[in-house]
Chain A
Amino acid sequence: MRGESSEQVLNGQKIFEELFIIEGGNFNKAGEVASRIKVILKNMGIPDELVRRAALVAYESEINIVSYAKQGYMKLTVNPDLIMIESIDEGEGIVDIELAMQEGYSTANDRIREMGFGAGMGLCNIKNYSDYFDLRSKIGKGTYLKMIIESQQKNPKTE
Chain B
Amino acid sequence: MELSSIINALSLRVVSGKDNLSNAVTGGYVGDLLSDVMGNGKSGDLWITRQVHQNIVAVASLKDLAGIVLVNNCEPAEDTIQKGVKEGIPIMISEMPGFDVAGKVYNLIKKDHHE
Contacts and interface: CB of A to CB of B under 8 A. Distances in A.
Where chain B touches its partner, the secondary structure class is helix
Contacts of A119: 33-36
Interface stretch (B4-12, B14-22, B54-62, B94-102): B54-62
Contacts of A28: 54, 79
Nearest to B37: A116
Given A124-B39, A125-B38, A59 B58 contact: yes
Interface in B32-47: 32-36, 38-39, 42-43
Interface of A: 27-28, 30-32, 34-35, 38, 48, 52, 55-56, 59-60, 63, 115-117, 119, 121-122, 124-125, 128-129, 159
A121 B58 contact: no
A116 B62 CA distance: 16
Interface residues of B, number: 20
A32 B86 CA distance: 13
Interface of B: 32-36, 38-39, 42-43, 51, 53-55, 58-59, 61-64, 79
A46 B64 CA distance: 15
B53 A115 contact: yes
Given A27-B55, A31-B55, A116-B51, A122 B62 contact: no
A55 B64 CA distance: 11
Contacts of A27: 53, 55
B40 to A, nearest CB: 9
Given A52-B43, A60-B35, A121-B35, A115 B51 contact: yes
